[in-house]
Structures are given as C-alpha cells and as structure tokens.
Structure 1
Amino acid sequence: MLLSLAILGTAIFCMRLTRETELDQRMCPVSGPVGQFVLLVDKTDPLNFTQKHAFQASLEQLITQRVPTGYLLSVFVLDNDYTATARPLLEECNPGDGTGKSEMNANPAHLKKRFEQRFREPMLQLANELEGKQPAKFSPIFEMLELSSINGFRKQNVTGPRHLIIVSDMLHNTPQYSMYRGNFDFERFHDSDYGRKMTADLTGVEVEIQYLLNTPKLQNRRHLKFWEDYFAAGGAHIVAVRPLEG
C-alpha cells in the first residue's frame, strides 16, 4: 500500500509539473502569457555607429534580462508606410532558460537550449530588420502606436502587466501633423480632427521611451510634455525616458 501511494504521489506530481511547464507553439504557457512587452522600433532614420551598438546592447538586455519567463514579447517596426508594418515582425514568449531549475525535476540544459533557439536567437536576428538604412519621408508615430495597441495589446488580451518600449526620436512627421514645425501643444493637437483620431487605447500600459536624440533642439521638455499628455489621454503613463547613446 505504501508503495502504491508513493507511485500515485509521484504520478500526480509529474502531472502537475507537466501542466505547469506545458507550452504552446509560441512558447507561451498553455493558460496564456502572464504579461506582455511590446517593442516598437523607429527605423525612419538610420542609426549612427554609436546608436547601433547601444540599440543592440539594449535589445540583448531586453531579451535575456528584462522579459520574464512566461511573458510575451511582440516586436513592431515603425517605417515610412505604416500600412506595411501593421502587424508584429515576431511574437514569442520567453520559455525560460532553466535558471534555478534542478536536475531532480527538470532538464536545465534542454531548457537553456530551447531558450536560445526559440527565443533569444530569433529575436536578435531581427536587429538588421529593425535598423533603418536610409531616411524616410514620413514618420507616422501616432498611427503605429494605434496599431501596436490594436495588434499587440488588444489582440493578445494579456491580463498581466503590460509594457511598451519605444525606440524613437518621437518626432512624428506626416502631412497631417509634423513636430518638425515645433508643434508641441497637446491640447491643440487633441482638439483637432486628426488628433481626435490618433489617440491609442493603452489603458494600464507602462511606457518606456528609449530616446534617439537626432534633433536635440526640438527634443526638449515641451516635446516630452506632449508625449506625457498623449499617453495619459490613452490611459498609459511614462515610467522611464532613457536617451540612447549617440
């Protein structure tokens, strides 16, 4: 009887462990991602030499240190034509790299290999696609923020913590509205026909801006205040602004 109970207990433990570690095709928990990061990278201006290295280091850190196990990472690119970049380049969950796992109830080497092949390497291979090769005519930041909300956060409907990281100079430039004219009055923008259509629903999202200082004379406190008001209007808030070196 004792032997039978021991076997039954082991079987139940293994079944629970399997359910807890079972993943879907995107390496997400079968019960759904426990949180989400959306990365939006602006490639409308080429990165200079230093910015390129800073961006690659930031991307590596995001993938290996910042996105927790079970979180979904959705990567979008901002380019001249937002209709061509409406959907994420890649969406994958961090399956975990085996850190802290014991040989008694897991295979840390297998987990590490899976992490490298299914998450880290595919994400890092996107670096070239995320870096602009020549200046673009337009920089439709508002439109891409809406699409990142629709096809990123809203489509996945992740109930856990949600984070948006934007790598950009944040200088929106389209025929309807250009920040290169020094237009940083959010209330005036928000009251315009174009502005009323361009407010993204980002309720509960924490926003981090990795600031490309390509035009410092325009990227001042008034510029950042515009974006603080913009995200607040959409239900989000900026938690960090980090100038990218270069």
Structure 2
Amino acid sequence: MSRRSRRKKTKDLQGFLILTVCATVFCSLFVGYYFIKDSFVARDEISLCRSDGVVSRETVLVFDATDSLSETQALVIKKRIKRLVENSKIDERFTVYVLSDLVGGFSPKLSVCNPGDGQDKSELIANKRKLYSSWKESFVDKIEVSLDQLIGDYTSTSSPIMEMIKFASVNTMIDSPSDQRRLVIVSDMLHHNDKFSHYRDNPVFKTLKGKPYGSEVRPYLGNVSITIFYVQRSKSMAHQNRGHIRFWEEYVSDGGGQVIKVETIN
C-alpha cells in the first residue's frame, strides 16, 4: 500500500472516530435531556405541592391550643412530629390546624408538601446538597416553626375538639386526591362546650350519638387512620382513662375512620 493510500486511510479512520464520538455525545445529551425533562415536576412556589394535584399521602395535624403544655410535653411532641415529617413520603401533603375555643373560626395554619430531599437523585443531574438544604428549609423547618409558635401559655373557656375534627375532615380529607389519609391529633381530648362536655356529661359515645349534637359533629373520616398524642393533665386524671379513649375510638369509627395509635404524653 502506498504512503498516499495509508495517509488517506488514516484520515478516513480519524473522521470515522470523530463522527462516532460526536454521535455518542449527541445521543447522551439527547437521552439526558429527556431523562431530566421526565423527572422534572412543576410545583407551587409556596406550598411546594405538585401543580398537577398529585398527593401521595394526605396528613392533617390538629394541634390543641386550648390549654398549655409543660416544657417536657412540648419537647416530646416536637420530636414526634419531626419524626413524622422527616419520614414522610415524597409529595405527601401536611396541613396544620389549630384548635381554639372559637367555633366557626377554624382554618388551616399551614399547608405544605414534601418535595423530596434529593437523596434519590443522581449527582450527574442534580446538586444533592442544595436539594437537601432546600428540602429542610422549605419543608421540615417550616412545619417546626409553625409548631414553635403554637407552644405557649393558653387558657380557653371551651375546647370544641369534635367540631375541629369534623371541620378538618370536610375541609381537607373528604376530597383529598390521595387514597392514603391520616389524622394526627395533639390534645388532651377533653371535649368541652355548652352542648357536650367530658367534664360534665356521661363520657359514653352511644349517649352522644343518641343526641342531635352527635349527628352535628359526626366527621367524614372514610379511609382515614388516626394517631392521638394524648396529652395528660394532672388536674384531669379522673377524666382521662381507658373509657375516655374508648369514646374517641367509637367516635372515629362512627365517622368511618380508625384509631391506630394512642400515645400518652405525660
């Protein structure tokens, strides 16, 4: 083979290698673009919830602010809620309600979704450290701050717990796009108003159910699991007992839900 022929063959081989490399790079960029595009989820800037309305699990936190917590009770509750938040699912929505003695003035204090901490992403297409920092600041810390603001000295003349549960069930649960729904209540569960009181009336659910007020406060808890952080009051030990817990188990069951856990906070 002549020198000229060898030179031409070398150039042809170099050209082929260059074309192969370019094609490989182009294909990689093409695949990478569509991978990133498919993994991108549009979210509301404030709530961080998906713009398409997808919610993996609906979680409602009801915090009873009609009475004060001790320092240790507040600490335990913050740790329990923090664990719930940090172990939540991606696209799980948390809505925080505050129970006061103002019936008719109920409204969510906060509603925010878990956008994910980025630890499931590849370093090739995502800044995992930045995603984690954003997740903590915009999701975890936001809920913690809302709880900090709720812990203080409170004294109310009434505690309409059943009205709040019904309101939250109608306002958030009844039309939730998620099949997984849970309600977390932080309270002494001592319902008290002029229509029914655990301090005054027979704390047996069938007694309440037989009254018009029982129908009035019946919640919509279909497919909802309930966890109660049962705040113990030294002044109310005579009212806080197994029979009192049974009342709430039956109340929840009558509304279509299920109490799956009761943890005493002393």
- Contact conserved, 1:182 with 1:218, CA < 8 A, in 2? no
Report the TM-score when normalising by structure 1. 0.91
Q: Distance in 2 between matches of 1:94 and 1:11?
A: 25
Aligned counterpart, 1:230? 251
**Cα deviation, residue 235, structure 1:** 0.6
When residues 72 and 173 of structure 1 are mapped into structure 2, their CA distance, relative to the original with a 3 A threshold, is: same
Q: Distance in 2 between matches of 1:14 and 1:41?
A: 39
- Contact conserved, 2:169 with 2:219, CA < 8 A, in 1? yes
Aligned counterpart, 2:193? 174
Q: Distance in 2 between matches of 1:7 and 1:242?
A: 53
**1:16 correspondence with 2:46:** no
When residues 176 and 152 of structure 1 are mapped into structure 2, their CA distance, relative to the original with a 3 A threshold, is: same
Aligned counterpart, 1:112? 132
Range with bigger deviation, 115-124 or 235-244: 115-124
Aligned counterpart, 1:43? 65
**Cα deviation, residue 36, structure 1:** 1.1
Q: Residue type matched to 1:29 in 2?
A: R
**1:146 correspondence with 2:163:** no
**Cα deviation, residue 127, structure 1:** 2.0
Structure number with the bigger relative contact order (C-alpha 8 A, sep ≥ 6) is 1
Q: Distance in 1 between matches of 2:96 and 2:42?
A: 24
**1:185 correspondence with 2:204:** yes
Aligned counterpart, 1:163? 182
Secondary structure at the counterpart of residue 81 of structure 1? coil
Gaps of 5+ in 1: none
- Contact conserved, 1:39 with 1:74, CA < 8 A, in 2? yes
- Contact conserved, 2:49 with 2:93, CA < 8 A, in 1? yes
When residues 138 and 124 of structure 1 are mapped into structure 2, their CA distance, relative to the original with a 3 A threshold, is: same
**Cα deviation, residue 196, structure 1:** 1.0
Aligned counterpart, 1:96? 116
Q: Distance in 1 between matches of 2:152 and 2:216?
A: 27
Gaps of 5+ in 2: 1-19
State which structure, 1 or 2, has the greater radius of gyration over its C-alpha atoms: 2
Report the TM-score when normalising by structure 2. 0.84
Q: Residue type matched to 1:206 in 2?
A: S
Q: Distance in 1 between matches of 2:238 and 2:38?
A: 58
**Cα deviation, residue 7, structure 1:** 4.0
**Cα deviation, residue 68, structure 1:** 1.7
**Cα deviation, residue 160, structure 1:** 3.1
When residues 145 and 132 of structure 1 are mapped into structure 2, their CA distance, relative to the original with a 3 A threshold, is: farther
Aligned counterpart, 1:29? 50
Runs of 4+ in 1 over 6 A off after TM superposition: none
Q: Distance in 2 between matches of 1:126 and 1:77?
A: 10
Aligned counterpart, 2:217? 198
Secondary structure at the counterpart of residue 207 of structure 2? helix
**Cα deviation, residue 94, structure 1:** 1.0
Range with bigger deviation, 74-83 or 230-239: 74-83
**Cα deviation, residue 64, structure 1:** 1.8
**Cα deviation, residue 229, structure 1:** 0.8
Aligned counterpart, 2:261? 240
Q: Residue type matched to 2:101 in 1?
A: N
- Contact conserved, 2:224 with 2:256, CA < 8 A, in 1? yes
**Cα deviation, residue 5, structure 1:** 4.3
Aligned counterpart, 2:230? 211
- Contact conserved, 1:88 with 1:152, CA < 8 A, in 2? no
Q: Distance in 2 between matches of 1:224 and 1:58?
A: 20
Secondary structure at the counterpart of residue 62 of structure 1? helix
Q: Distance in 2 between matches of 1:13 and 1:229?
A: 49
Q: Distance in 2 between matches of 1:132 and 1:212?
A: 15
When residues 181 and 68 of structure 1 are mapped into structure 2, their CA distance, relative to the original with a 3 A threshold, is: same
